Amino acid sequence: MLTTILSFIVVLGILIFIHEFGHYITAKLSDIRVEEFALGFGPKLISKQWGETVYSIRIIPLGGFCNMTGEFIPDEDDDSEDLKIYNEALKNGRCFHQKSILKRFAVIFMGPFMNFALAVLIFFLIFNFAGLPTSTLDQPIIGELDPSMPAAEAGLRPGDEIVEIENVQINSWESMAEKIHNSQKEPLDIVVNRKGERLQFKITPQYDEQMDINVIGIYPQVVRENIGFFKASRLSVVQSWQVFTLTIKGFIQIISSRSMEGIGGPVMIASIIGQAARNGIINVMNWMAIISINLGIINLLPLPALDGGRIFFIIIELFRGKPVDPQKEGFVHLIGFILLMILMVFIIYNDIVKNFF
């Protein structure tokens, strides 16, 4: 549990930081006043002001924000510090809404873009330093596990050698896979050798619709080839694009089927990252890249309060020739944020029910 919590906080913290840093650095380069750069929501745990910007870490580690002056125009009847800051920035041309369409688009888009760039970097590090998987060994020794599948949930680990399934001796990966694939989706008695100790597990295979077989989510040990800097660079982009397209297809399938089956929230992500952390740093990095791409895509959806929703208003302005009234846009984003929070509560509830009941 401690491994799961710590790895979840570290991974999510990196993803949120990279996303918000994209907004932050582009705003700074565009001479927009940044009032606060925050990781998390809710009450502040730590905060420090450097120059004109407050940097804070907040108690709920499920997001973050980069608060730029002029995103939301304060009430003119309000005699608060916020109005004074806004008027000073307005006088100096440093409000968000005073900047050109191109600059505002860049500030908003750079958050999701940094998530995509992070994924490319992570895949590059994996390919460049760990190598490219070129072939698998036929020994029935687990190389990697899918954290969301039955084998990982049951407690199998990389390095475990599967020696028996349903009292049948296993001598190769092929014979083991055949036994699992042809099972009747009932609990299997699986015996493994873990560093000389025999351990027994009951694991129920899960049906894979695409391959039309039953699986438990394990992969064989692989031989990795050193491929060099340039090939690793090219393959990292290819791998990121494949994950991107598969994620888009997954979203389309969820929408077309009107099912919540493939949707998960913080609890599911924490479970996946926790399992990955127990399976090695490469697994953690791989899932971090996948989640980073998912985060970038979700933020580009044209929904109020998300980056995609704000880009949508910029596109409307481009066609209208004039901006939407800032107060009206702010109200739309506020309603959108409230609805997103309600959706998040529902997803977390659904997560808890699926994982613990």
Active-site amino acid positions: 20
Q: Which residues are bridge partners to 55 per DSSP?
A: 37, 48
Give the DSSP per-residue string, 147-178: TTSHHHHHT--TTPEEEEETTEE--SHHHHHH
Q: Which amino acid is at 278?
A: R
What DSSP element (H or E) covers 255? helix 229-257
Spell out the residues 6+ positions from residue 214 whose beta carbon is closer than 8 angstroms to its own. Answer: 180, 181, 182, 183, 185, 205, 206, 207, 208
The 10 Å Cβ neighbour count of residue 353 is 10
* Closest-CA residue to 304 (of 332, 342, 344, 338): 332
What DSSP element (H or E) covers 145? strand 142-145
CA distance 8 to 3: 8
Strand stretches in the chain, DSSP E = 34-50, 53-68, 132-136, 142-145, 161-165, 168-169, 188-194, 197-203, 206-208, 213-215, 218-220, 222-225
